[in-house]
Structure 1
Amino acid sequence: MSIHRPAAAALAAALCLLTAACGSSTDDKAGDRQTEAAAPKSGYPVTLDNCGQKQTFDKAPGRVVVMNGASVAEVSTLLALGLGDKIVANQQTYGMSEVPGRADAIKKLPTGDVKLNDAYDVPREAMIGLRPDLVLSTTSYGFDEKNGFATRDQLKEVGARTYVSPTGCDQDTSKMTIDDSYRLLRDMGKVFGVGDRAEEVIAASEKNIAAVSDKVKGEKQPKVMVLFSNMSMGGNDFSSVVAKGIYNDILAEAGGTNAFENASKTSFADLSKEKVAATDVDALVVIAYNDPDPAAYAKKLLKEFPQWPAAKNNAYVTLSDSMYLGPSNDLAVRKIAEMLHPDSL
């Protein structure tokens, strides 16, 4: 899949996330928490310092717009906190999820029936027309006036607060970690008065990840290639290969290491086929971004590079939202660890 330049920029900057077998899940079906979230606790006003701007909330938002940003981090976080009924327009979807029921829950959310721009996102006039009281963007790109978006100041003038997700201020996600997923949960917990629920989700995730990482500790760390399925983001044959970011934190917890960590100083590497062929790859993690058959892409790569240990051992796993910023990183840790260290789990 070839992705348009604006969406690719958002993806490279902020690509975005629970029923693990070892302990309680970090998510329930979207509807299960609606009642709990409907009555936020007192404690307002709440003020967040977000990308250098003070955002003050006198009450829990009730008209939320979730911008695209080639992410599902924000919408999944709201659903994990039982806040789906607060969303009046959502533009985020991966088409699938590791969390049972989440993809369907996202599909059922309102879109606002707006005409999207070339970045598949909500343009300025349409955004104002939605009358939001909170707008969520994966990165600062979503509030860039020169790209046709409503600015944070313009939204403030019509009574809307705004929020850019962790590490999205400068659109550099190369240092993103699992802790940033927890920060997003905590921030939304504060904004909506459901901090206790946010801490429950975080605690369950931490417990699940620790249960896996403890079992694979001391094991040899296979070299893993992480990339997005059928996606072109640059000029070379392999332009959606992950180099840095939250992916590496997830790999480390699962007992693996990124085979291409040093191939770029940014989150993604744009690699030639020759470079990929010359690298030992012990296993593949293929992330599906609206690709209905990522397994077919993984098998194609294994056939194309039969010299890889990954090809000889048919070692691959396909993931979607759990591999990026969001509330479901524990699922990615477990699924990758099960592939890399099946005898340890």
Structure 2
Amino acid sequence: MPKQRPFAVALVTSLCLLTAACADSSTDSKETTDKTDNAAAAKAGYPVTLDNCGVTEEFTKAPSRVVVMNGASVAEVSTLLALGVEDRIVANQQTYGASEVPGRADAIKKLPTGDVKQNDAYDIPREAMLGLRPDLVLSTTSYGYDEKNGFATRDQLQQTGANSYVSPKGCDQDTSGMTIADSYQLLRDMGKVFDVSDKAEKIVADSEKNIAAVAAKVKSEKKPKVMVLFSNMSMGGNDFSSVVAKGIYNDILAKAGGANAFEDASETSFADLSKEKVAATDVDALVVIGYNDPNPGAYAKKLLKEFPQWPAAKNNTYVTLSDSMYLGPSNDLAVEKIAKMLHPDAF
């Protein structure tokens, strides 16, 4: 609805002082406008209802003030960028510092941050969140709505008129069962919310096509044992606490014709391993994920030098990745890059 100019508003106000009929006219105008807005929303496919982690969220129109929480993720912000709705973001806290998609890292840097100072839990504190006046808040897991960590709860957000969303497999903060299909679910959910489902389906279809083509090329190849870990990151008490055990990473490896060398090392997404355990495992190839690390390649080379007995070290077999290896719209790029590293003769 076009905004009224200040002069027009003043003129209408003056006339209202002279005649009581203005009240009826104003009411009729508002009712007409509401009907027009409702008709437009219905035509666009609203209302949209999502059952998200046991919470029913109803959207009567596309969100216009979106806050993206940190969550050590780029899944949500990358999805919004891929769908072309980044102009709705009023505060983004996600960044990997790099991307396999040309221009994405720079695009993320240009997004508004809301001038938020993160709390001790490395995310947006409750008071700052409510001050941003969001109509949609996105979090990778339910952790982002935990009151004990100083965050605004989903109930508190709902009371201010804001919807909230937890990405697939994030309800119980256990992402060990995550697969590429969850990236597609995130795309489809946001496609519905922002009325860009056609674009979401196009991204999903292209990704599925690319992954199927790669998987077909490596189908009959031997599956090398791959170590996947985040560079220069500590998540536990041992020397190697950022080693991937389960989650979407394994699905990506499988599609690329590989297998996780440490899949049985933990029941959770990450294994906390000693140097001795790592040294005793045959590693055929290395995938290093750079989370805000400007030089993950240097970390990869350091590891290969530290464990010269690995086949990966003898053959210098490694690749560095960033956001494509995580939940998000670009998993097909990770599948292709890893497959070309593991099976170069198939391409």
Please give the TM-score of this superposition, normalised by the length of structure 2: 0.88
Match of 2:143 in 1: 141
Query: What CA distance in whole angstroms lies between the structure 2 residues aligned with 1:41 and 1:220?
Result: 52
Choose between structure 1 and 2 for higher RCO, CA contacts under 8 A separated by at least 6 residues.
1
Mapping 1:277-316, distance limit 5 Å: 277-316=279-318
Q: Return the alpha-carbon distance in structure 1 between the equivalents of residues 331 and 246 of structure 2.
A: 16
Alpha-carbon deviations, 1:55-79, whole Å to 9, x = none? 0000000000000000000000000
CA distance in 2, matches of 1:116, 1:297: 28
In structure 1, what is the Cα distance between the partners aligned to 2:43 and 2:156?
29
Q: Return the match for 1:62 from 51, 64, 67.
A: 64
Q: Distance in 1 between matches of 2:246 and 2:122?
A: 26
Show the counterpart of 2:45: 43
Match of 1:9 in 2: none
Partner of 1:285: helix, strand, or coil?
strand
Other structure's SS at 2:334 match: helix
In our comparison, the structure showing a higher alpha carbon Rg is 2
Shift of residue 41, structure 1, vs aligned partner = 6.4
Q: What is the correspondence of 1:175-190 to structure 2 with a 5 Å cutoff?
A: 175-190=177-192
In 2: Cα distance, 1:187 partner to 1:66 partner: 15
Quote the Cα distance in structure 2 between the aligned partners of 1:170 and 1:97.
Answer: 27
- Give the number of equivalent residue pairs: 307
Equivalent position of 1:236 in the other structure: 238
In structure 1, stretches of 5+ residues that fail to align are 1-38
- TM-superposed CA distance for 1:120, in Å, is 2.2
Q: In the alignment, what sits opposite 1:158?
A: 160
8 Å Cα contact 1:46-1:190 kept in structure 2: yes
Give the drift of 1:209: 0.4
- 1:41–1:193 CA contact under 8 A, matched in 2: no
- Tell me the TM-score normalised to structure 1 length: 0.88
User: 2:345 aligns to what SS in structure 1?
Assistant: coil
Say which structure is richer in helix: 2
Q: What is the alpha-carbon root mean square deviation over aligned residues? A: 1.0
Cα separation, partners in 2 of 1:177 and 1:40, compared to 1, 3 Å: farther
CA contact (8 A) 1:40 1:193 kept: no
Q: Could you tell me how far 1:100 is from its partner in structure 2? A: 0.1
The letter of the residue matching 2:334 is A
Contact 1:40–1:60 at 8 Å: present in 2 too?
Answer: no
Offset, 1:193 = 0.5
- Runs of 4 or more, structure 1, over 3 Å off, are none
Give the alignment of 1:194-205 within 5 angstroms. Answer: 194-205=196-207
What whole-Å deviation, never above 9, does each CA across 1:164-207 have from its counterpart, x for those lacking one?
A: 00000000011100000000000000001100000000000001
Secondary structure of the equivalent of 1:343?
Answer: helix
Partner Cα separation in structure 2 for residue 263 and residue 180 of structure 1: 23
- Asked whether the 8 Å contact 1:41–1:194 carries over to 2, the reply is no
The equivalent of 2:344 in structure 1 is 342
User: Which letter does structure 1 place at the counterpart of 2:146?
Assistant: D
Whole-angstrom distance in 2 between the partners of 1:132 and 1:44? 19
The separation in 1 between residues aligned to 2:42 and 2:243, in whole angstroms, is 41
Deviation of the 1:129 alpha carbon: 0.4
What stretches of structure 2 of length at least 5 have no aligned partner? 1-40
In structure 1, the residue matched to 2:275 is 273
**Equivalences for 1:205-220 in 2 at 5 Å?**
205-220=207-222
